[in-house]
Amino acid sequence: MAPTAGILVLVDDRALHPAIDRVVAAAGLKVVRANAPSSRRVWAGAAAILLDGEAALRCVQLGMPRRARVLLVCSEQPGSGEWQAAVAVGAQQLVILPTQERDLLSALTEAADAAGDGVARGPVVAVLAGRGGAGASVFAAALACTATESVLVDGDPWGGGLDLVLGAETEPGLRWPDLALAGGRLSYPALRDALPRRHGVTLLSAGRVLSGSGSSNDIEAGAVSAVIDAGTRAGVPVICDLARRPSAATETALAVADLVILVTTVDVRSCAAAAATARWAEEQNPNTGVVVRGPAPGGLGPADAGRLIGRPVLAAMRPQPGIEAQLDCGGLRLRPRAPLVRAARKVLALVSRRPENGRVSELVA
């Protein structure tokens, strides 16, 4: 569900529906009714979500991540049960209908403005490693550098910092430990001005966590959602380099991604590890494909890797000469015909077609 698809209404109490219909119509949005969100992608993509207490608890049990523009509605003064449900699901507002229709209209009008501000939304690409050391962070950086303008989000608190990959560790600007976000709507120009920039990339990186420093790269799901939303509303591609382990922040980014890229080397152990990671990633987002990189010490080819992992191969690339020395001395430097750039262009061309409903295989057929 794209944000322009409408308001997701998860309300069991049918007596509330007429008031909801009036307000949603006045806000210029459609109603999409359901008993529960069919996926995290649907939950994350709605312009706003209206739910009652029972639906809120169902969403909590389903593990839906916290996000902006979630409102709990009820027909009378809320009791402790409604307040507890609102807190559990992360609702920002509790509205009594029909008494507070004006308040609901104001909230949904803001949602309509966010969904229709006249700019085509930028794509979101989530990048995961099939195994440790597969080169996912380098490929995520290559994707960001290959796009005309992009936002590169470091979603791995244990990765050492993507600013090191780009050679931007001395660039001024905020890192995750400096950024205090609780979700909500961010201005992209303000975000861009606050963050380091390198090679046309706006970078939100982890910081240095040194022994005894007391600092932390912990990332909140709401903050990730707000940063992604700011970039996509501005029409800018957002590339998320994610940790290869479950967390609320990782699952939030996976849920909203137009395409999930799994990067792996071409050997049996790596493909076996990537297959396990792919199964987990597909639970969050079926639009998952593989990028493989050489060398292939045992003679496996890209098609073999795709069969072992069970996902379509979106691009294959030769080893990038001198990449290790680059990363240690000044950061990634890409030439137009470099293997990383060629693979990145293929992926960006695919994501521009916005695969939906898990049809990644159709794009590469």
**What mean pLDDT do residues 63-77 have?**
88
Provide the pLDDT for residue 108. 87
User: What is the rounded average pLDDT for all residues in the chain?
Assistant: 86
What is the layout of strands, in order, in the sheet containing 259-265? 197-198, 201-204, 150-155, 238-242, 124-129, 259-265, 288-293, 313-317
Average pLDDT over residues 149-172: 92
Decide which of 109 and 93 is more confident.
Answer: 93
**Nearest by Cα to 113 from 226, 232, 3:** 3
Closest to 221 in 3D by CA, of 14, 64, 10: 64
Check whether 209 has a pLDDT greater than 80.
Answer: no
To which H or E segment does residue 48 belong? strand 48-51
12-21, 34-43, 117-126, 354-363: the lowest-pLDDT one:
354-363
Q: What is the pLDDT of residues 12-34, one digit of tens each?
A: 998 999 999 889 888 777 888 99
Helices 268-284 and 302-309 meet at what angle, rounded to 10?
Answer: 50
| pLDDT classification of 180: cutoffs 50, 70, 90 | low
278 has a pLDDT exceeding 70: yes
Q: What is the dihedral of CA 270, 258, 347, 350, to 10 degrees?
A: 130
pLDDT band at 225 (very low <50, low <70, confident <90, very high): confident
pLDDT at 118: 52
Give the pLDDT confidence score for residue 58 in this predicted structure: 94
- DSSP per residue, 106-166: HHHHHHHHHH-SSSPPPPEEEEEESSTTSSHHHHHHHHHHHSSSEEEEEE-TTS--HHHHH
Q: What is the pLDDT of residue 326?
A: 87
**How far apart are alpha carbons 304 and 242 in whole angstroms?**
25
Question: How many CB atoms are closer than 10 A to CB 3?
Answer: 21
8 Å CB contact between 181 and 226: yes
**Dihedral angle of Cα 61, 63, 67, 73, to the nearest 10 degrees:** -10
Q: Which comes out higher in pLDDT, residue 290 or 3?
A: 290
Amino acid at 115: A
pLDDT (mean) for 153-179: 90
Please state the rounded mean pLDDT for residues 339-364.
76
For 276, the enclosing helix (H) or strand (E) is helix 268-284
Report whether pLDDT(307) > 80. Answer: yes
pLDDT the model gives residue 184: 55
Give the confidence band of 116 by pLDDT, cuts at 50, 70, 90. low
Q: Which domains does the chain have, with CATH numbers?
A: 3-115 (3.40.50.2300), 124-364 (3.40.50.300)
Q: What is the pLDDT of residue 110?
A: 79
Task: Give residue 202's pLDDT band: very low, low, confident or very high (50, 70, 90).
Answer: very high
| Nearby residues of 108 by Cβ (< 8 Å), 6 or more positions away | 7, 23, 24, 27, 29, 47, 48
Q: Are 12 and 50 in contact (CB under 8 A)?
A: no
Give CA–CA dist 343/324, Å, rounded. Answer: 18
Name residue, tokens 């997701």: 8
Q: Are 228 and 253 in contact (CB under 8 A)?
A: yes
Tens-place pLDDT, residues 189-201: 989 999 999 988 9
The fraction of the chain above a pLDDT of 70, given in percent, is 90
Tell me, what's the pLDDT at 342? 94
Amino acid, single-letter form, for residue 183: G
Inter-CA distances, 87 with 70, 94, 181, 223, Å: 11, 10, 18, 18
For the chain, what is the total number of helices (H) and then of strands (E)?
Answer: 15, 13
Strand ranges (E), 266-348: 288-293, 313-317
**Local confidence band at 136 (pLDDT 50, 70, 90 cut-offs):** very high
What kind and span of H or E run contains 191? Answer: helix 188-194
User: What's the whole-model pTM score?
Assistant: 0.74
pLDDT for the residue numbered 43: 86
